[in-house]
Amino acid sequence: MKRKKFIIGIMAGIFVLVLVALLCFSSSLAGLRSDWVLQAQGASFETTSVFHQAGLELAVPTSARTGDNRWCKHIKLYHCGENFPHQGAGELSILYNFGSFNDGRSAFYNPESDTFNAHYGVYAIHQTDRIFGYQNGAVDVKAITDLVAFDQLELVMTSLGCPAALKHFDAQITAIQPGPTMAGFSDWVQLDAVIQTNAPLYQERDFQLGTLQYGHPPDYYAGPDFPVVSMVGRLYLRYDQPRQLTMIYFVIGKDAAMVEATSTDYLKPIKWLPANQK
């Protein structure tokens, strides 16, 4: 009987090790691995995030709600803390999403996909001594574009190993206008831009941390590393006085049609809820 239990224990241990190995190394499980890693990361930031400190939860749509399968089914949380371009004391947290997985990698890598090089989500910035994103009552375009550039270059491209010499981000604002009513607020400002920035295409030579998130780049890619491509961006900006938060909804995508559709289906329906009531 003891021998039987011992053998069963050994077999169970081997089974667990096989499952762990598959989760860690199998390309077919890249989506599951990404989801597990990023949900664990988000849980570690839960109580320190700007959203939590403000007593606010956001219900941000994903493909789990819309059923279009273009995006991943779970929103991710990243807390930058003080590590972002700003003046004075301040903290930044980000809710975000990217393209769904197919053939062992996110569509984020696929130039033929609607979600190539694309993200959408929310920036929440808390400052007590000033209002982020505004200067003398007007939109501070430089502060906002510096924030988006930081996200694209220092968070995304750095995680994939893009060298500093290749990093590129240039945004030209094409329109600033009143935004639509969202989450019950009518004081949003909408900014539209055309962007030149790096694409996540490169010839993989060694492990990069970002591959835990997006999967590995396509092994058939033979072009230059991190080429500069044209993108389109949209932001919705609002300052929430009671919470002392600057809220920025964002989407960056390959063309205006994609940005418009994502704004309509994924940004405009975002709901603001008291903490723990999502």
**Given this model, what pLDDT does residue 128 score?**
86
**Given this model, what pLDDT does residue 195 score?**
98
3-state secondary structure labels for all residues of the chain: CHHHHHHHHHHHHHHHHHHHHHHHHCHHHHHHHHHHHHHHHHHHHCCCCHHHHCCEEEECCCHHHHCCCCECCCCEEEEEECCCCCCCCCEEEEEEECECEECCEEHHHCCCCCCCCCEEEEEEEECCCCCCCEECCEECHHHHHHHHHHHHHHHHHHHCCCCHHHCCEEEEEEEEEECCCECCECCCEEEEEEEEEECCCCCCCCCCCCHHHHECCCCCCCCCCCCEEEEEEEEEEEEECCCCEEEEEEEEECCHHHHHHHHHHHHCCCEEEECCCC
**Given this model, what pLDDT does residue 275 score?**
72
Q: What is the mean pLDDT of residues 168-182?
A: 98
**Given this model, what pLDDT does residue 274 score?**
83
Token representation of residue 184: 């019950």
Token representation of residue 149: 């550039």
pLDDT digits (tens, 9 = 90+) for 29-79: 787 889 999 999 999 999 999 999 999 999 999 999 999 999 999 999 999
**Given this model, what pLDDT does residue 205 score?**
93
Q: What is the mean pLDDT of residues 157-171?
A: 98
Q: What is the mean pLDDT of residues 120-137?
A: 94
pLDDT tier for residue 4 given thresholds of 50, 70 and 90: very low
pLDDT digits (tens, 9 = 90+) for 108-120: 999 999 999 999 9
Sketch the domain layout of the chain as residue ranges: 29-274
Q: What is the mean pLDDT of residues 250-272?
A: 98
Q: How many CB atoms lie within 10 A of CB 147?
A: 24
Q: What is the mean pLDDT of residues 119-143?
A: 95
Percent of the chain at pLDDT > 70 equals 89
**Given this model, what pLDDT does residue 28 score?**
53
**Given this model, what pLDDT does residue 82 score?**
93
**Given this model, what pLDDT does residue 21 score?**
35
**Given this model, what pLDDT does residue 83 score?**
93
**Given this model, what pLDDT does residue 9 score?**
40
| pLDDT greater at residue 221 or residue 4 | 221
pLDDT tier for residue 215 given thresholds of 50, 70 and 90: very high
263's torsion region: left (phi>0), alpha (psi -120 to 50) or beta? alpha
- 200 neighbors 221 (Cβ within 8 angstroms): no
Examine the pLDDT at 180 and tell me if it is beyond 50. yes
Quote the pTM value: 0.89
Examine the pLDDT at 230 and tell me if it is beyond 90. yes
